[in-house]
């Protein structure tokens, strides 16, 4: 974040990939892509691709981890070694450990965990291709996977990234913008309740800038929510 | 979901759960160039089993015993999303075994002309990292992974590189700009044959794998030479079984090789 | 429970078709759109978690919905069931969670001193106490309970009690409860069991008659089948599970059963 560079990220009001400032990349969403799992989904934003699978509720071992009054949620975010330019060594590193945790906290408030005491719900997010905004793509996929699995939820979770590049506020950062922009912020929310469940920011923003950026973020999340609703409704329409 | 008992009953009657013949594969799909950031990649499906292989090229110091050869490293991830039986963490014995079996099929067949991967003799060579990610486990991961790795390598392009000058440490790899295709010559195909009672079958699905007495994975090159063998499973194989299994593998490998060749041809057109 | 029909569109299975969020072929979509125009009650859309269903108006809220103030929302991806007395949502899929009164098919996993543990195809193991399993007096000091039920035995039983922390007890004290000998068990999505049973039991009867098999379904998604033509029965059941959303499924199954 915020590497110094000569790259101009915005030229004549358009971004490096031709997008408008508030325009999302091309989005693709599918559910039921891993049939071994109870629920699963694939979400693509431009060249960033995430697959998520949800298992459970299922028995939790070791037993000392069981909560007698409530189920628990475990999330594992992982990047495939071939997902990035410079091959990533397999296995968790500090970054993916942190992202696993914030992703869990982004989703947990939506689940009715009290319906499954002593059990666990496991969500696995694999990033197959990385071009910026992988954690929010992963969270969008996880939310669809949980709905697909028949988990009881208060609302779906929609997530997106926003940022400041070349002094302008933009939505859905690609890899270049993520690396060389001045500020990036990831948010996740329960869109129909207008509740925020994740917020992370790097960079420097004035309060005014923050307010505008935050508004852009919530509006973008609502757009993403509409797409999530559409894929679920279209896939499971009954005749 | 089916009880394994049922799959076993059917096999002993000469049938399979999905109606296939014993020497029949599930529908196979091979899609190369599926991962943009990788130098080579392929997605392979055998029915519902799905794997993705990605190839990343890096520079490295050659191994002492092969100072003028490029390096091949095969790694596999039994990602927990692919099956309720896979756990997070370092590769377990099954993941390690799969990596090594796929590696041997490629290495022993001399599929890649590694002598052409030397950048500075005895000092610096290209290293090919093949990472295989399981996406959905419905049986026969080894065969699917092998085909994915072979297809990915055959469609890999070596990136342009500016070697570090005197006194500099870092080579600059210009990803996105390509020098030439990876010199891949042969096409080894791995066929895993399972044994149940007196029956031999190929491409076992998930339930069938659980009831196999034993299985033998056989890597066959296009000239029908065998480059690698691996027996798995807890029961013994008769000597006569081995012969029959190898014959079956040679026969089926020819069929699968045609599919791989087709996929490689399509990829090269792009 | 008889009229419920839930489905999962199994055509959406593959991950790699690029560029399509809509898994059905265009010609089928057109057909559905035409049917929808003429018979709006036949084409139904699912509701999503968090979607508003109705105002409460003093009605009972089923376990598939939740309340915020006077407004009722869905907990699941599923189909709403609303009448004057109750608002509920039936989920399309999901793991079985035991509820008191459910009739299930379980498998004995261990023999204890005063009872047995039973696999219920859920995250919760159930306990069958000796008094609920056997009518006569049994001297526990002298008797090995495996003579009544042994590991891997299949039983049809009833869930007699589920506590708040999901400790589950089952009983054989029910007119349909019994040990099931021979046969095999298969597991399907529990929410599709009603579809296997059919209206008034019509579907399951058709399968039983055509295949001359004994078939018992459990609300936990487990189905026990015994008979020579069980392959045919299993094929029919799995087809229903996979295609429960399509038009003409009943005819297709009838055809399947009369052939072969």
DSSP secondary structure letter of residue C124:
S
Shortest CA gap B214–chain A (Å): 24
In a domain, A5, yes or no: no
Shortest CA gap C133–chain A (Å): 25
Please, what is the average pLDDT of chain C?
Answer: 83
Residue B259: band (very low, low, confident or very high) from pLDDT cuts 50, 70, 90: very high
Confidence (pLDDT) at C213: 93
Domain count within chain A: 1
Q: In angstroms, rounded to a whole number, what is the distance separating the alpha carbons of residues A107 and A102? A: 9
On whether the CB atoms of residues C66 and C80 are closer than 8 A, the answer is no
**Does B52 contact chain C (CB < 8 Å)?**
no
Touching subunits for chain C (3+ Cβ pairs under 8 A): A, B
Average pLDDT value for residue range B220-243: 85
* CATH code, B106: 3.30.230.70
Please calculate the CA angle B251-B239-B46 and round it to the nearest 5 degrees: 35
**Does A62 contact chain B (CB < 8 Å)?**
no
In a domain, A14, yes or no: no
Higher pLDDT, A89 or C28: A89
Residue C18: band (very low, low, confident or very high) from pLDDT cuts 50, 70, 90: very low
Chain-centre distance for alpha carbon A54:
15
Q: What's the per-residue H, E or C state across C171-232?
A: ECCCCCCEEECCCEEEECCHHHHHHHHCHHHHHHHHHHHHHCCEEEECCCCEEEEECCCHHH
Q: Which residues contact A12 (CB under 8 A, 6 or more apart)?
A: none
Q: Which helix (H) or strand (E) holds A201?
A: strand A195-202
Is A82 within 8 Å of B38 when comparing Cβ atoms?
Answer: yes
Q: In angstroms, rounded to a whole number, what is the distance separating the alpha carbons of residues C49 and C28? A: 27
Copy the structure tokens of residue B91.
Answer: 């590769």
**pLDDT higher than threshold 90 for residue C50:** yes
| Residue C167 CB neighbour total at 10 angstroms | 16
Find the CB nearest B84 among A33, A36, A87: A36
On whether the CB atoms of residues A145 and A52 are closer than 8 A, the answer is yes
Domain enclosing residue A79, as ranges: 20-235
**Does A111 contact chain C (CB < 8 Å)?**
no
Touching subunits for chain A (3+ Cβ pairs under 8 A): B, C
Place of tokens 């039973």: C118
In a domain, A3, yes or no: no
Chain A CB contacts of B133 under 8 Å are 80, 82, 126, 128
Confidence (pLDDT) at C14: 30
Q: What is the pLDDT of residues A189-218, one digit of tens each?
A: 999 999 889 988 888 888 888 889 999 999
Q: What's the per-residue H, E or C state across A65-84?
A: HCECCECEEEEEEEECHHHC
Concatenating the DSSP letter of every residue in chain B gives -B-HHHHHHHHHTT--TTS--TT-PPPEEEEES--TTSSEEEEEEETTEEEEEEEEEEEEPPPTT-TTS-EEEEEEE--GGG-TT--SSS--HHHHHHHHHHHHHHHHTT-B-GGGGEEETTTEEEEEEEEEEEEE-SS-HHHHHHHHHHHHHHT-EEEEEE---TT----EEEEEEEEEE--B----EEEEEEEETTEEEES--HHHHHH-SEEEEEEE-TTS-EEEEEEESSS---HHHHHHHHHHHHHHHHHHHHHHHHHHHHHHH-
Nearest CA in chain C to A70: C165
Chain B CB contacts of C185 under 8 Å are 3
Q: Would you call A94 exposed, middle or buried from its count of C-beta atoms within 10 A (0-12, 13-18, 19+)?
A: exposed
Which residues are A183's β-sheet partners? A164
Chain-centre distance for alpha carbon B148:
5
CB-side neighbour CA atoms (13 Å) of B170:
3
Chain B CB contacts of A51 under 8 Å are 81, 135
CATH architecture assignment, domain C103-180: Beta Barrel (2.40)
Find the CB nearest B131 among A52, A82, A92: A82
Q: Which residues contact C205 (CB under 8 A, 6 or more apart)?
A: C198
Residue A33: band (very low, low, confident or very high) from pLDDT cuts 50, 70, 90: very high
Q: Considering chain C, what percentage of its residues have pLDDT values greater than 70?
A: 82
**pLDDT higher than threshold 90 for residue C252:** no
Identical fold at C22-91 and C103-180? yes
**Residue A57, preceding bond cis, omega within 30 degrees?**
yes
Nearest CA in chain C to A34: C13
Chain A CB contacts of C27 under 8 Å are none
Domain count within chain B: 1
Please calculate the CA angle C26-C27-C31 and round it to the nearest 5 degrees: 115
Find the CB nearest A119 among C10, C123, C247: C123
CATH classification number, C22-91, choose in 2.60.40.10, 2.40.30.10, 2.40.50.100, 3.40.50.10800: 2.40.50.100
Q: In angstroms, rounded to a whole number, what is the distance separating the alpha carbons of residues B263 and B34? A: 12
Task: Give the residue from B73, B139, B153 showing the smallest Cα distance to B111.
Answer: B153
Q: What is the pLDDT of residues C205-227, one digit of tens each?
A: 999 999 999 999 999 999 999 99
On whether the CB atoms of residues C23 and C107 are closer than 8 A, the answer is no
Find the CB nearest B81 among A51, A83, A86: A51
Q: Considering chain B, what percentage of its residues have pLDDT values greater than 90?
A: 63
Average pLDDT value for residue range B53-73: 92
Question: Where is average pLDDT lowest: A51-55, B102-106, B235-239?
Answer: B235-239
* CATH code, A75: 3.30.230.70
Residue C27: band (very low, low, confident or very high) from pLDDT cuts 50, 70, 90: low
Average pLDDT value for residue range C134-138: 83
Q: Where are the alpha helices (DSSP H) in chain C?
A: 26-38, 130-133, 193-197, 202-211, 230-243, 249-258
Is B37 within 8 Å of A76 when comparing Cβ atoms?
Answer: no
Q: In angstroms, rounded to a whole number, what is the distance separating the alpha carbons of residues C238 and B74? A: 38
Residue spans of the domains in chain C: they are: 22-91, 103-180, 184-258
Domain enclosing residue B30, as ranges: 4-269
**Residue A62, preceding bond cis, omega within 30 degrees?**
yes
On whether the CB atoms of residues B197 and B214 are closer than 8 A, the answer is no
Confidence (pLDDT) at C39: 52
User: Which of B6, B211, B263 is the best substitution to test chain C (most C C-beta atoms within 10 A)?
Assistant: B6
On whether the CB atoms of residues C114 and A60 are closer than 8 A, the answer is no
Is C185 within 8 Å of B3 when comparing Cβ atoms?
Answer: yes
On whether the CB atoms of residues A156 and A229 are closer than 8 A, the answer is yes
CATH number of C184-258: 3.30.1370.10
Shortest CA gap A185–chain C (Å): 25
Higher pLDDT, C35 or A15: A15
Chain B CB contacts of A30 under 8 Å are none
Confidence (pLDDT) at C95: 93
Chain C CB contacts of B9 under 8 Å are 184
Chain C CB contacts of B6 under 8 Å are 184, 186, 234
Q: Considering chain C, what percentage of its residues have pLDDT values greater than 90?
A: 54
Chain B CB contacts of C14 under 8 Å are 45
């Amino acid at each position: 974040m915020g590497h110094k560079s000569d790259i101009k990220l915005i030229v004549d009001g358009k971004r490096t990939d031709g997008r408008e400032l508030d325009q999302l990349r091309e989005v693709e969403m599918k559910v039921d892509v891993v049939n071994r799992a109870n629920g699963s989904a694939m979400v693509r934003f431009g060249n960033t691709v995430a697959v998520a699978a949800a298992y459970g509720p299922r028995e939790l071992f070791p037993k000392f981890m069981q909560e007698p009054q409530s189920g628990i949620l475990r999330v594992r975010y992982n990047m495939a070694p071939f997902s990035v330019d410079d091959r990533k060594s397999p296995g968790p590193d500090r970054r993916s450990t942190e992202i696993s945790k914030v992703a869990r906290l982004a989703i947990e408030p939506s689940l009715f965990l009290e319906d499954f005491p002593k059990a666990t719900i496991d969500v696995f997010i694999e990033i197959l291709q990385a071009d910026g905004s992988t954690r929010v793509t992963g969270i969008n996929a996880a939310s669809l996977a949980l709905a697909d699995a028949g988990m009881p939820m208060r609302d779906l979770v929609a997530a997106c990234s926003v940022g400041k590049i070349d002094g302008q506020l933009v939505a859905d950062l690609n890899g270049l913008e993520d690396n060389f922009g001045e500020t990036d912020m990831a948010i996740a929310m329960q869109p129909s309740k207008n509740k925020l469940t994740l917020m992370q920011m790097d960079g420097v923003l004035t309060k005014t800038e923050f307010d505008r950026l935050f508004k852009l973020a919530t509006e973008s999340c609502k757009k993403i929510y509409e797409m999530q609703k559409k894929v679920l409704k279209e896939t499971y329409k009954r005749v | 979901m089916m009880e394994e008992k049922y799959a076993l009953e059917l096999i002993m009657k000469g049938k399979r759960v999905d109606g296939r013949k014993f020497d029949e594969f599930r529908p196979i799909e091979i899609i190369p160039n599926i991962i943009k950031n990788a130098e080579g990649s392929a997605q392979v499906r055998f029915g519902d089993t799905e794997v993705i292989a990605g190839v990343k090229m890096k520079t490295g110091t050659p191994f002492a015993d092969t100072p003028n050869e490029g390096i091949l490293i095969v790694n596999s991830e039994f990602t927990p999303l692919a099956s309720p039986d896979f756990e997070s963490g370092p590769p377990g014995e099954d993941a390690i075994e799969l990596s090594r079996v796929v590696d041997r099929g490629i290495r022993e067949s001399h599929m890649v002309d590694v002598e052409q991967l030397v950048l500075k003799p005895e000092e610096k060579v290209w290293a090919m990292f093949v990472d295989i990610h399981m996406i959905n486990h419905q049986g026969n991961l080894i065969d699917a992974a092998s085909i994915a790795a072979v297809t990915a390598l055959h469609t890999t392009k070596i990136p342009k590189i500016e070697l570090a000058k005197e006194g500099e440490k870092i080579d600059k790899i210009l990803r996105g700009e390509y020098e030439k295709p990876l010199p891949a010559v042969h096409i080894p195909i791995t066929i895993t044959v399972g044994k149940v009672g007196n029956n031999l079958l190929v491409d076992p699905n998930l339930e069938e794998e659980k009831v196999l007495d034993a299985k033998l994975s056989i890597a066959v090159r296009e000239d029908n030479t065998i480059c690698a063998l691996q027996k798995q499973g807890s029961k013994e194989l008769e000597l006569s079984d081995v012969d029959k299994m190898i014959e079956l593998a040679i026969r089926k490998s020819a069929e699968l090789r045609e599919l791989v060749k087709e996929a490689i041809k399509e990829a090269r057109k792009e | 429970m008889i009229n419920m029909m839930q489905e999962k569109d199994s055509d959406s299975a593959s991950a790699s078709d690029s560029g399509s969020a809509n898994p059905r072929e265009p010609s089928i979509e057109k057909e559905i759109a035409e049917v929808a125009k003429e018979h709006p009650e036949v084409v139904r859309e699912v509701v999503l978690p968090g979607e508003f269903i109705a105002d409460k108006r003093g009605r009972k809220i089923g376990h598939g919905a939740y309340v915020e103030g006077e407004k009722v929302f869905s907990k699941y991806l599923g189909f709403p069931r609303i009448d004057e007395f109750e608002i509920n949502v039936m989920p399309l899929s999901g793991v079985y969670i035991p509820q008191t009164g459910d009739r299930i098919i379980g498998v004995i996993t261990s023999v204890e001193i005063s009872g047995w543990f039973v696999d219920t195809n859920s995250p919760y193991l159930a306990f069958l106490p000796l008094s609920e399993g056997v009518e006569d007096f049994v001297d526990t000091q002298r008797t090995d309970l495996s003579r009544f039920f042994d590991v891997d035995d299949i039983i049809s039983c009833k869930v007699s009690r589920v506590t708040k922390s999901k400790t589950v007890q089952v009983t054989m004290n029910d007119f349909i409860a019994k040990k099931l000998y021979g046969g095999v068990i298969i597991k399907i999505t529990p929410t599709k069991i009603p579809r296997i049973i059919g209206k008034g039991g019509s579907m399951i009867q058709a399968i039983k008659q055509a295949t001359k098999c004994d078939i018992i379904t459990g609300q936990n998604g487990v189905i026990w089948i015994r008979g020579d033509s069980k392959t045919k029965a299993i094929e029919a059941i799995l087809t229903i599970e996979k295609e429960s959303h399509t038009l003409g499924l009943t005819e297709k199954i009838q055809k399947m059963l009369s052939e072969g």
